[in-house]
Amino acid sequence: ARLAVLISGGGSNLAALMEACEDPAYGANVVLVVADRDGCGGVEIAKDVGIDTAVLKVSDYAERNEWDRALAARLSEAQPDLVVSAGFLKMLGSATLAAFPGRIINTHNSLLPAFPGIHGPADALAYGVKIAGATLFIVDDGMDTGQILAQCAVPVLDGDTEETLLERIKVAERAQLVQTVGAMVRDGWRISGRRAILNSPAD
Ligand code: GRF
């Protein structure tokens, strides 16, 4: 399966996926990495091993819709089976969503529907929850609202700062992303109303 990965940051989730893809049994390859800004470490990681990369900045386009159409076009060229948003900090527009219906997934660092948005771990800490985690879901036109494919939990410890909690979440989040994407490309998945269901290998 062909994976396109969208990033805005360091790309540790991307790096974990790339490492998994080194094993042919994993069944996937990263064919394109798109960033929405300069200076994303993940773009360099991908370039180093010859993966196609692109930087598409909203500010380079007169309108947000034009950026969205350019993103949809660039992604379509790569013919991905799955688009993985891994720390991508822009909402996708209608052109991109329409180009890959039900095939764009995002990893978020909270247990949705609690703490959507870009400050998930800080919000969880401020609220005082005892369990935090990460959610992998199918992207729709809302913010962190799509059907949930997988969730993993980590404890919030008494001495936690935003940094220590985020790091604990990210370790679990990367493992979840790698495992779930592997299962999705090998066995497929289906949607039933609000529920996203991973097919079992026997299906
Ligand atoms: C992840 O924790 C993701 O949930 C959040 O940003 C982080 C991305 O980290 N939206 P990285 O760039 O993959 O290291």
Q: List, for residues 76-92, the tens digit of each pLDDT value.
A: 999 999 999 999 999 99
In this prediction, the answer to ipTM > 0.85 reads yes
Domains and CATH numbers, the chain: 1-101 (3.40.50.170), 106-203 (3.40.50.170)
**Per-residue pLDDT in tens (0 to 9) along the chain, 203 residues:** 999 999 999 999 999 999 999 999 999 999 999 999 999 999 999 999 999 999 999 999 999 999 999 999 999 999 999 999 999 999 999 999 999 999 999 999 999 999 999 999 999 999 999 999 999 999 999 999 999 999 999 999 999 999 999 999 999 999 999 999 999 999 999 999 999 999 998 76
> Distance between CA 96 and CA 72 in Å, rounded?
4
> Distance between CA 166 and CA 134 in Å, rounded?
10
Counting atoms of ligand 1 from 1, which one is nearest the CA of 13?
Answer: 13
**Atom 8 of ligand 1 has which residue's CA nearest to it?**
87
Pocket of ligand 1 (CB under 6 A): 7, 9-14, 86-87, 107-109, 170, 173
Counting atoms of ligand 1 from 1, which one is nearest the CA of 42?
Answer: 12
**Atom 3 of ligand 1 has which residue's CA nearest to it?**
87
Say which DSSP state 101 is in.
T
Q: Among all residues, which ones are annotated catalytic?
A: 108
pLDDT (tens digit, 9 = 90+) per residue, 131-173? 999 999 999 999 999 999 999 999 999 999 999 999 999 999 9
Quick one: which of 90, 155, 149 has its CA closest to 121? Answer: 155
